[in-house]
Structures are given as structure tokens and as C-alpha cells.
Amino acid sequence: MKSIKKIIFVLVCCGSFCACEDYLAVTPESAYTDESFYLTATDFETAISGCYSDLNEIFGKNGTGYINTLIARSDECRNSSEIGRFMESSNSTWWSNPWKNLWSMVSRCNKILDKIDGVDFSDQTQKANIKGEALALRGYAYFQFAWCWGGVPLITKPLSLSETHKIARSSQEATYAQAESDFKQAYELLPEAWPSTKTGRVTRYAAAGMLGRLYLYQCISQRRAQKTGETPTPAMAEKAAEWLKLVIDKEGSLYKMATVYTDCFDGAKNNSAERVWETQYLSGASAQALGLSTYFPSIFIPSSLNLRRGDGTKMGGVTFTGGSGSFRASLSIADSSKYELISGNLDDPLSVVVFDKRRDATLVNGLYVDKSTPVYDYYFVKKFLIDSANFPSAIDYWGTNLPILRYTDVKMMYAEALNEIDYAANKTTIFSILNEVRTRGGLKPISEVELPDYNTVFDCIVHERFVEFAFEGLRWPDLVRWRLAEEKIAEHFALQDEGYDESTETPMYGMKKYHHLAPIPYIDIVAYNNENILWQNEGY
């Protein structure tokens, strides 16, 4: 793992071969770069590591990543920003930065795939693996472009700027299809697991799990069809189940749900059996100097943290304060009614109340935040502030890997797909998965007495995914694919904490249907200056 990260650092210092300069304005590579690089197996190892460096940026390495945007967009986050209030424009860096990083990764992957077959490798397995990695990473990018932006130009080889501007934007369906093709090819080329010297690279089963997610994102669920009048697509659920089952069949040998919920995020448990695919970071000052640490966990630490009053201890033991724009949890998830009660009575002030263990692992309140008394109506997020082996001493020294695909997510998606296919035929497996997740949270098992049909199971999955994957960047895409975004965001903005005026029964903010998709950055719309080639999404 460390060798990969050192290669990333070398690549960055050498000018980041293959990176896009201005989003889709992919300029031709210099003659020096083309003639002196991509000549040996080592060159390609360096180049693929550059693709992973883009992935690290996408996941908030510097505190401004794609995952930050997805978290701020959803109802789990108290919406103090333009993105959370649905007030952003096509100039917003919340969307343009992820767009840029995703295109950079596509460009790097395209260069590798264009050059690699012309180079002799002494180890053909190594060559196949690098091709698989480039395909999987490009597939990941096109997957995000499909669901989030609704389709983009499909660029699968290095192009000049003038050539790029002739490639028209594709449909959402075609963009999904490109991601699907890339992941399927990657599955055939990637290994089941990597040796310890290459820990953290994408594997065959990470590609399979991402295919399962991709099909679910395209699945028109029965519940969605009830709401929108669309036709359900059980075939998509069947495809999702098929690919997710490939990962689940490796339970015990490669994957296993973490026994303790906090182990899913503890830096000491990086690359454990819970983590099917995750970003790779190293902790400490030396890692930060090499560009190998991450800032992301610190986005949840308030700048007003009162370390003298013990706020740091409550936030997992941090000894430093956070940035000025820290994220707070909203009452949409922090309200006492959102996590299941294990014991106690909320109406009795003397009762000892115990919630779902995931609540205490995720949220904290009662901090002083530079006030004279503890503040109990401010909730902060501590689930990522864990590293029992190498706890950082500064805001950007974190070495905690971030989940792209957790094994728990694979199993939860599998249960969802089975419910879409046939509740009655699959209820034994569905309840087994739901209860494994619930038991880890300290909750009692649930059965068909409580969930007697498709709809009740669907509602349970919606809730369990909310509390299980809170602040992992999955809530917003889940709401979009289920077509629940408008409903849940309306409930969210009906909270007084979100600016709702109870006297006039008027929300301060609101979401519109067009917000299902993100805006194409204005800089690209202007650069193309041709709405027949690259056009803006409706509403922006």
C-alpha cells in the first residue's frame, strides 16, 4: 500500500501525466511525455497510481471532494450551504470540482488503455491487471456521470481539444452502458485479491459489487412505479442480484461484515474484510508532506470546538479544531425518533435511554462549542474520527481510508434486489441480512410479522440504509434512484432547525424536480458554445 502511495506522490511531482487541464478541454499530451513515458511496465504502474490519486481527490482528500457534495446535498446534513439549500448555480464549485476530478481520472485511464497494448510486458498478468484497474476506475467515473449528471460525452481514447468538442453529450442510458461495459471487462481482468504490496487496489469483486450498485441505480422499483406511474424493471434487480451474489459467495474467505460498527471506519482496520473497496491514505506529518493523508474526517469537526471543556474527548479524542465550514448533522437524522430505541422511556426524564448503537457511534451532542454551557440541540458527526492505531495530531494528518463499497452495503443491496424480484420467495435471505445488520446495532431481530410484504420491507431498507450509511455519500443517490428525494427533502425543510416558519407554515428552502441532476459546469458550456453538442440540464 505504501509503495502505491509513494508512486502517486512521484507522479504528482512530475506533472501528473494525462490529467485534464480544464474539465473536458483535454489538451494533447506533449511530445516529451508521449515519447518518454508509457514505455515500460513501471511507467504503467506509475500511471495507474495517478488514477488512484484522482480517486483520493474525489473522496475529499483536501476537504472539497465529491463525497462532500453528496453529503451536503442530502437530508442528513444541516443545510447551511448553497448546495444543501438547493440554491447553487452552474458556477458552483460544489459540482465543478468533482466534475473536474472525474474527467481527470477518465483522461488518465484513457491514456493507459490507449498505450498499454503497444508495450511488451514480461508479466502478462500484470498487464491485464493494470488494464482492469483502468477500466474499473473509468467505469466508476462514467457511473457517477450517469446518475448524477444524466449523461456526458463518451470519451474513451485520448483526443485533442478540437476532437473533444465534436463529441456530443450522450444519454443517461448510454453513459450507464459505458460504465457497465468497463466494469464487466474489468471483472475479467482483475485479480480476486492483491498481494500485501498492492493492498487497496480495485479487485474483481469490487467491480462486481459496483455492477450490482449500477443495476440498482437503474432499477425502477415497485415503490417508485407506484409513485410515478413508470413500469417496474425487475430484470435490473435480477442483474443486480446476480453480480452482488458473486461478492457474497466470497464471505468468509475474502469478506465479512465487521462485528463492531465502529470497526467499519477505524483507521486501524483499514483494508479489513468489511472493506470491499476503499480509498487509501496514510496518517501523520510525513504522509501529509507527501500528499498521502486526508482532510476529510476533519470536515465534521467545528472550528468552535472547546477543547478545554472536553469537546475533543467527546469527538473521539481530537486535539485540534476543524475548519470554518464544518458539517453538522440535521435533525432529520439526529432527532430521537430516527434511531430505534433499545430500552428506556423518552417521556421519563429519569429513564436511562439506550438507542441503536449506530447513533452513539455516529452522532454527538452536548458540546460546549465555545459556549459557557453544553449545547444539546447541535449534533455533530464523529463516525470517521476513529483511528485507534495512528490518531492524527493535526487537521489534515488523517490516514483513515474511506469506503467506496462496504461489504454491508453489498448485502443490503442484495436484500433490496431480492425484495424487488420476489418478496415471498426470498424472505428468508432478506430477513437474515436485515437482522445481521440490526443485531450489530444492538437491535432485536425483525420478522415477517412486522414486515409482511414488499412495501414494509422496502420501508425498512430505506430506514436501515439511512442510519447504517449516514454521511458516507450514499443517502442522496439512494433518494434520487428511489424517487424519494422531493418527499424527504420537503420533510427536511419542514423542520424549524432548517428555517421553517411555523407561524406561516412556510419553508425557507425547497427542492424542485430538476434537482435530481447536477448542473453541467458553466465553464464547459461556454467552452463548447454549442448546445447541440453539450447542453445544460433543465433548470440551471
Q: What is residue 34's predicted lDDT score, i.e. its pLDDT? A: 61
Cα dist from 360 to 261, 303, 325, 375, whole Å: 10, 22, 23, 16
Cα dist from 413 to 218, 238, 386, whole Å: 13, 12, 26
| Residue 116 falls inside a structural domain | no
pLDDT band for position 5 (cuts 50, 70, 90): very low
Q: What is the total count of domains within the chain? A: 1
- Pairwise CA distance, residues 37 & 228, whole Å: 52
Q: CB count, 10 Å around CB of 497?
A: 17
- Pairwise CA distance, residues 191 & 210, whole Å: 15
Q: What is residue 325's predicted lDDT score, i.e. its pLDDT? A: 85
- In the predicted model, is pLDDT for residue 430 greater than 50? yes
What is the average pLDDT score of the chain?
93
Q: What is residue 44's predicted lDDT score, i.e. its pLDDT? A: 97
The 10s digit of each residue's pLDDT in 158-204 is 999 899 999 999 999 999 999 999 999 999 999 999 999 999 999 99
The 10s digit of each residue's pLDDT in 360-417 is 999 999 999 999 999 999 999 999 999 999 999 999 999 999 999 999 999 999 999 9
| Residue 309 falls inside a structural domain | yes
Q: Domain of residue 339: give its range.
A: 295-384
- In the predicted model, is pLDDT for residue 478 greater than 50? yes
| Residue 26 falls inside a structural domain | no
- Pairwise CA distance, residues 111 & 107, whole Å: 6
Based on the number of CB atoms within 10 Å of its own CB, is 205 exposed (0-12), middle (13-18) or buried (19 or more)?
A: buried
Answer yes or no: are the C-beta atoms of 209 and 277 closer than 8 Å.
yes
pLDDT band for position 13 (cuts 50, 70, 90): very low
Give start and end residues of each alpha helix (H) in 441-484. 454-468, 475-482
- In the predicted model, is pLDDT for residue 31 greater than 60? no
pLDDT band for position 27 (cuts 50, 70, 90): very low
| Residue 320 falls inside a structural domain | yes
| Residue 456 falls inside a structural domain | no
% of the chain residues with pLDDT over 70: 94
pLDDT band for position 35 (cuts 50, 70, 90): low
The 10s digit of each residue's pLDDT in 296-352 is 999 999 999 999 999 999 999 999 999 888 999 999 999 999 999 999 998 888 899
Helix (H, G, I), strand (E, B) or coil at 146: helix
- In the predicted model, is pLDDT for residue 481 greater than 60? yes
| Residue 434 falls inside a structural domain | no
| Residue 299 falls inside a structural domain | yes
Q: What is residue 52's predicted lDDT score, i.e. its pLDDT? A: 96
pLDDT band for position 23 (cuts 50, 70, 90): very low
| Residue 115 falls inside a structural domain | no
Cα dist from 414 to 8, 214, 241, 404, 407, whole Å: 34, 12, 6, 17, 11
pLDDT band for position 96 (cuts 50, 70, 90): very high
The 10s digit of each residue's pLDDT in 450-467 is 999 999 999 999 999 999
